[in-house]
Amino acid sequence: MTEQENTNKPLSVSQAMALAKGALEACTVTLIGEVSEVSNKAGYKAVYFTVKDEGASLPAMMWNNRYAAAGVELRVGMLVQLTGRFTLYAAKGRMNFDVFSLSLAGEGDLRQKVANLAKKLQTEGLMDPARKRPLPSFPEAIGLVTSPRGAAVHDVLRTMRRRYPSARILLAGVPVEGADAPKYLSQALQTVAESGAELVLLVRGGGSFEDLMPFNDEGLARTIAALPIPVVTGIGHEPDNSIADMVADLRASTPTAAAEAVTPNSVELSAALAASMAHINRTLQNRLQQSFAKLETLATRPVLSDPHQLVTQQALALDAAFDRLQRAIPSNLLRDANQLQQSSIRLKTFGKNMLEPFAARMATQAARLEDLSPLSILGRGYALAKDKEGKLVASVQSVSEGDAIALSVSDGVINCTVDSCTYTDRELVSWKDDS
């Protein structure tokens, strides 16, 4: 069969669908469309949805594992970017778009990135309300970080002049849009904090989501969290909510609202002070009136009109005690004197009885001492010889010729000189009287 005959030969439905399926699946494309319907039921192996634009709609499917890896939860109205290939389900004759990858398109992609960053910082605790610091009630120096050419700076300054003109404003004008804006904003926050500001306002006027992206920067968020002073944000309008708003110590809906949040209203403050002064005056007047009334009541009491009544009872008790003492002292002295005399007699008697045994023993001992005393021996005609050093001469060997000795007798001392010494059985000593 020739090639021309093969071309003109009719195909079966299955062959035609297979031919179309092969041609479609060979083509991988990336497209952008709006999600119009979503079917993600439990038990399904894939997620089924439809994307459309102004002129067409396309059914699509994505296997569950790919859908989970994409990290995007499909919702109707979402603008998405899909990469995949066309495929045919031959049994039903239906065409689907088999999606390989899925991401948000345009602003949707930016919002998803911001949402992921917000979740990360929240997990780290940067958005924890317990971390956020209270604002000073009456700040003397207020930092302001914003564009020097936008409407926000004028709104803030005008509000502060009206509400709290005594505050000193430390203004740092920086770009609030563009790729380098987060870096300038971070530097400006640190500069005003180092310059003595007690708190800082981070503000800008309204704009698109893309315009506000510098305030969704992770580095700026960490700078706000690490700043040593409170940060108040007023970025865009009421619906706008950036990462900087979430990390700041206070989020205001607009720049003007931020200025009002950090400044007391001078008019309201004056009125509050006046009301407080009036309340204090009334309170003092009432206290004084009560004190005067109490004083007048006290003045009518007898004890204050006659001071003697304060001490009458005590004086009478003192006189009675004095009288009792006057009567008690003489009688007590007489009683004590009698007791003392009786004690003296008892002591004398007792002492005498105690000394009698000792007196007898003392007499006996004295007699014995008398018998043993050298003086009694001398009284019987004996003498006691001592050398010049006062030592007793007990032997002729203790002295030599010419030595001076002293002889003690019963009625005195005889000084002698030794002429010679004679050894006898009775050891007699010859001596010469010097007198």
Half-sphere exposure of 342 (CA within 13 A, CB side): 6
DSSP letter at 292?
H
Three-point CA angle 350, 351, 355, nearest 5°: 120
CATH topology of domain 133-264: Rossmann fold (3.40.50)
Q: Hey, what long-range contacts does 340-343 have (CB within 8 A, 24 or more apart)?
A: none
> With 80 as the cut, is the pLDDT of residue 369 above it?
no
Query: Of 145, 129, 262, 120, which Cα lies nearest the Cα of 214?
Result: 145
> With 50 as the cut, is the pLDDT of residue 427 above it?
no
Residue with the bigger pLDDT between 191 and 12: it is 191
Distance CA 64, CA 82 (A): 15
Length of the chain: 435
Distance CA 419, CA 92 (A): 177
Do the domains 12-105 and 133-264 sit in the same CATH topology, yes or no?
no
> With 80 as the cut, is the pLDDT of residue 20 above it?
no
Tell me what the mean pLDDT of segment 396-416 comes to: 84
Tell me what the mean pLDDT of segment 24-42 comes to: 87
DSSP letter at 233?
E
Residue 34 in contact with residue 51, Cβ under 8 Å?
yes
Task: Give the contacts of 239 (CB within 8 A, at least 6 positions apart).
Answer: none
Please report which confidence band the pLDDT of residue 244 belongs to, taking 50, 70 and 90 as the band edges: very high
In the prediction, which pLDDT does 399 show? Answer: 84
Residue with the bigger pLDDT between 236 and 68: it is 68
In the prediction, which pLDDT does 50 show? Answer: 93
Please report which confidence band the pLDDT of residue 3 belongs to, taking 50, 70 and 90 as the band edges: very low
> With 80 as the cut, is the pLDDT of residue 35 above it?
yes
Would the CA dihedral through 412, 414, 415, 421 be positive or negative? negative
> With 90 as the cut, is the pLDDT of residue 90 above it?
no
Of the chain, the percentage scoring pLDDT greater than 90 comes to 33
Residue with the bigger pLDDT between 205 and 8: it is 205
> With 70 as the cut, is the pLDDT of residue 429 above it?
no
Pairing status of strand 168-173 against strand 199-204 = unpaired
In the prediction, which pLDDT does 1 show? Answer: 44
Half-sphere exposure of 3 (CA within 13 A, CB side): 0
Burial of 429 (C-beta count, 10 Å sphere; 0-12/13-18/19+): buried
In the prediction, which pLDDT does 424 show? Answer: 67
Alpha helices in 48-106 (DSSP H): 64-70
Partners of 433 in the β-ladder: 416
Tell me what the mean pLDDT of segment 309-319 comes to: 76
Query: Of 251, 240, 218, which Cα lies nearest the Cα of 119?
Result: 218
> With 80 as the cut, is the pLDDT of residue 303 above it?
no
Assigned token pair, 390: 């006062």
Distance CA 20, CA 432 (A): 180
Distance CA 146, CA 201 (A): 8
Greatest mean pLDDT among 32-41, 321-330, 418-427? 32-41
Tell me what the mean pLDDT of segment 314-328 comes to: 80
CATH superfamily to which 12-105 belongs? Nucleic acid-binding proteins (2.40.50.140)
Of the chain, the percentage scoring pLDDT greater than 70 comes to 90
**Side chain identity at 288, as an amino acid letter?**
L
Greatest mean pLDDT among 70-79, 86-95, 299-308, 322-331? 70-79
Mean pLDDT, the chain, integer:
84
Tell me what the mean pLDDT of segment 75-89 comes to: 86
The structural domains of the chain, with segments of one domain joined by +, span 12-105, 133-264, 301-372, 378-433
Three-class secondary structure of residue 279 per DSSP? helix
Tell me the pLDDT tens digit for each residue of 109-136: 667 778 888 899 999 999 899 999 999 9
Query: Of 174, 412, 151, which Cα lies nearest the Cα of 259?
Result: 151
Tell me the pLDDT tens digit for each residue of 248-271: 999 999 999 999 999 987 777 778
Q: What is the largest CA-CA distance in the chain?
A: 198
> With 70 as the cut, is the pLDDT of residue 426 above it?
no
In the prediction, which pLDDT does 153 show? Answer: 94
Query: Of 167, 360, 390, 340, which Cα lies nearest the Cα of 259?
Result: 167
In the prediction, which pLDDT does 107 show? Answer: 57
Tell me the pLDDT tens digit for each residue of 180-219: 999 999 999 999 999 999 999 999 988 877 788 899 999 9
In the prediction, which pLDDT does 100 show? Answer: 93
Residue 252 in contact with residue 233, Cβ under 8 Å?
yes
Tell me what the mean pLDDT of segment 47-73 comes to: 90
* Type and span of the H or E element at 430: strand 429-433
Distance of CA 207 to the CA centre of its chain: 45
Please report which confidence band the pLDDT of residue 428 belongs to, taking 50, 70 and 90 as the band edges: very low
Beta strands in 205-353 (DSSP E): 231-235, 250-252
